[in-house]
Amino acid sequence: YGWFCLLGVLTAQAGHAFGLLCAALGKDQNVAFGIFSAFIFPWMFYAGLMINYDDIPAYFEWLHWTSAFKYVFTSFAVSVFDGATLVCPEGVSCPYPSGAVVLEQFAMKPSHRTRSVIALVVHIVVCRILSWLFLVLAAKRINVFAVCKAALFRNRRAITPSKVTA
């Protein structure tokens, strides 16, 4: 139960941190949503939900390792299936008699849970630091633009129409 509570909080924090990063990178909602979509769909595809870890092509492995979905999925799967005994109805062939077989099917090990939690915390911290950095840069750009704009309008006011020659 403790792992589920921890993973639920970390999942929410990872989503919030990445959403904040997209908002900091985008100039408006549409750009932020475009950035969000550009990352989320490949991350979901290569997180182990739709394709097995062992089947990911070498040139897409960076998507696999940078995906927060991978760490959330691995942590929850190990929490659910580690040491579990699955019960099948009588007279039915049971393809997965234990949780260990399910984890083996997804190329996961019980030792991956702790590593996944640590990687998820690192993902959260990195996204929040990058968000802060981009927001600071955006604020400085706005201040620079505001100063330039004020200087420009101040000079325009000093020029009266009678002094302007055609």
The upper half-sphere exposure of residue 5, i.e. CA atoms within 13 Å in the direction of its Cβ, equals 2
Position 147 scores a pLDDT of 62
Q: Could you count the other beta carbons within 10 Å of the beta carbon of residue 57?
A: 10
Position 64 scores a pLDDT of 76
Position 166 scores a pLDDT of 46
Identify any residues that bridge with 85 across adjacent strands, giving them in sequence order.
98
pTM, 2 dp: 0.71
Position 74 scores a pLDDT of 85
Where does the chain have alpha helices with state H? 2-25, 29-44, 61-66, 68-81, 99-105, 112-158
Q: What is the pLDDT of residues 133-160, one digit of tens each?
A: 888 888 777 654 566 667 667 655 544 4
Q: What is the pLDDT of residues 16-25, one digit of tens each?
A: 999 999 988 8
Position 25 scores a pLDDT of 85
- The alpha-carbon radius of gyration of the chain (Å, integer) is 25
- Please give the Cα distance from 85 to 99 (Å, whole number): 6
Contact 40, 34 (CB under 8 A): no
pLDDT above 90: percentage of residues in the chain: 16
More confident residue, 108 or 10: 10
Position 129 scores a pLDDT of 94
CA dihedral sign of residues 33, 38, 43, 46: positive
> Taking 60 as the threshold, does the pLDDT of residue 79 lie above it?
yes
